């Protein structure tokens, strides 16, 4: 198969239209057979549930080329299951998990020419999404739904080297105690755009959100979960019902335990404890881990001893081990690597 003529190493994180995508419609109580189509544009009712009341959710995962030349994805069963849990909370019909995997295989195979070569640092980002496409005017779940999955090649995350991030504690809240913070709903992102804009205007890469009820506990950034390393080498991640359960973070905690033999803790993390940590990182599919250099709080700026230039030693080991597992250089736990071709 001939690859597309793309400058893989210089791709950013932006949408590029690829050859084909998967679509399935839910009407009269069931999903149709689904199909791969060429048309990228979506035509729906002006009164569609997604347009009027934001009834939509999404997932994000990557396909990439391993050292031995296979195209694989990482734990896609976890994305399928998380989307099922999201749809339940938004009163949308779930797309069956095994059909999610089937759609993924079709999308990646049909667009294999867009999967970046091994060593380029680039990956194929896959975006499954499900939305209310039937008309509503009174507030109610949509009578019809659309599941789609497209892909787009994206560049290496740390282009030009790793640069530890500067964060600020946000004055805004991301998730209410019994709200929707734990699901991958589009609405969680719409309402975070303004807080992100304020952070960028103030010169910070991301917001650290605190728990909405007490403003004392660390939650997440709204696109990535936190992991911290204590001065005695324990890996700690905040536990909260309003954090989105990152697949990367759950995988890193397992890597810390089973590969690096480190102690791990998932527990409430008070903001007041953060200045005692040795390392801090953000985890998500896009970067795997982005190191954090500093966090501006109402009481001043916290900086981590790992510094402004590089990842701290434990975060570096976690990063190297998980990316090694993903790229096929290190043996993976059972079921983590889903080979497509």
Active site residues: 184
Please tell me what DSSP assigns to residue 7: -
Total residues in contact with ligand PLP, by rule CB under 6 A: 15
Closest to ligand PLP by CB, 25 vs 158, is 158
Say how far apart CA 158 and CA 323 lie, in whole Å: 13
Of 148-156, 196-204, 222-230, 254-262, the segment contacting ligand PLP by CB under 6 A is 222-230
Note whether 179 binds ligand PLP by CB under 6 A.
Answer: no
Burial 255-267 (b: 16+ CB within 10 A, else e): bbeebeebebeee
Note whether 246 binds ligand PLP by CB under 6 A.
Answer: yes
Residue with tokens 């005017």: 137
Instruction: Select from 273, 213, 265 the least CA-distant residue to 241.
Output: 213
Binders in 46-65 for ligand PLP, by CB under 6 A: 60
Kindly state the tokens that stand for 319: 């990063």
Residue from 168, 285, 294, 306 that binds ligand PLP (CB under 6 A)? 285
Binders in 251-280 for ligand PLP, by CB under 6 A: none
Distances (CA, A) of 293 to 206, 209, 249, 310: 12, 17, 19, 9
Give min distance, CB of 259 to ligand PLP, in A. Answer: 18
Note whether 168 binds ligand PLP by CB under 6 A.
Answer: no
Residue from 199, 244, 274, 340 that binds ligand PLP (CB under 6 A)? 244
Instruction: Select from 281, 277, 180, 303 the least CA-distant residue to 221.
Output: 281
Give min distance, CB of 284 to ligand PLP, in A. Answer: 3
Closest to ligand PLP by CB, 37 vs 176, is 176
Residue from 18, 73, 248, 306 that binds ligand PLP (CB under 6 A)? 248
Beta bridge partners of 63: 73, 124
Distances (CA, A) of 84 to 127, 139, 147, 164: 15, 22, 12, 34
Please provide the DSSP assignment of 58-75 as one string: E--EEEEE-TTS-EEEE-
Binders in 64-103 for ligand PLP, by CB under 6 A: none
Of 39-47, 131-139, 145-153, 220-228, the segment contacting ligand PLP by CB under 6 A is 220-228
Instruction: Select from 192, 149, 199 the least CA-distant residue to 174.
Output: 192
Note whether 220 binds ligand PLP by CB under 6 A.
Answer: yes
Say how far apart CA 151 and CA 293 lie, in whole Å: 32
Binders in 117-156 for ligand PLP, by CB under 6 A: none
Residue from 223, 238, 291, 312 that binds ligand PLP (CB under 6 A)? 223
Note whether 247 binds ligand PLP by CB under 6 A.
Answer: yes
Q: Which residues are near ligand PLP by CB under 6 A? A: 60, 184, 220, 222-225, 244, 246-249, 283-285
């Amino acid at each position: 198969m001939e690859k597309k003529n793309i400058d893989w190493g210089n791709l950013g994180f932006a949408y590029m239209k690829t050859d084909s995508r998967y679509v399935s419609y839910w009407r009269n109580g069931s999903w149709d057979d689904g199909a791969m189509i060429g048309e990228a544009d979506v035509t729906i009712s002006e009164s569609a549930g997604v347009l009027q009341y934001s009834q939509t959710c999404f997932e994000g995962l990557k396909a990439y080329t391993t050292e031995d030349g296979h195209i694989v994805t990482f734990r896609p069963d976890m994305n399928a299951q998380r989307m099922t849990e999201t749809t339940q909370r938004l009163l949308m019909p779930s797309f069956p998990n095994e059909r999610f995997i089937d759609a993924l295989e079709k999308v990646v195979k049909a667009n294999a020419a867009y999967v970046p070569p091994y060593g380029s640092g680039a990956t194929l980002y896959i975006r499954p999404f499900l939305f209310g496409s039937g008309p509503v005017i009174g507030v109610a779940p949509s009578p019809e739904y659309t599941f789609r999955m497209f892909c787009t090649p994206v560049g290496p995350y740390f282009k030009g080297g790793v640069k530890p991030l500067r964060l600020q504690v946000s004055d805004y809240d991301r998730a209410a105690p019994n709200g929707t913070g734990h699901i991958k709903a589009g609405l969680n992102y719409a309402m975070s755009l303004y807080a992100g804009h304020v952070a960028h205007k103030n010169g910070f890469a991301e917001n650290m959100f605190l728990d909405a009820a007490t403003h004392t506990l660390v939650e997440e950034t709204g696109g990535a979960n936190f992991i911290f390393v204590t001065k005695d080498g324990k890996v700690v991640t905040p536990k909260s019902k309003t954090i989105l359960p990152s697949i990367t973070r759950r995988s890193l905690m397992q890597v810390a335990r089973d590969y690096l033999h480190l102690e791990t803790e998932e527990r409430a993390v008070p903001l007041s404890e953060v200045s005692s940590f040795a390392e801090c990182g953000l985890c998500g599919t896009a970067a795997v881990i982005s190191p954090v250099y500093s966090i501006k709080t109402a009481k001043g700026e916290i900086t981590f001893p790992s510094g402004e230039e590089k990842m701290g030693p434990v975060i570096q080991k976690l990063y190297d081990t998980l990316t090694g597992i993903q790229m096929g250089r290190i043996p993976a736990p059972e079921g983590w690597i889903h080979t497509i071709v």
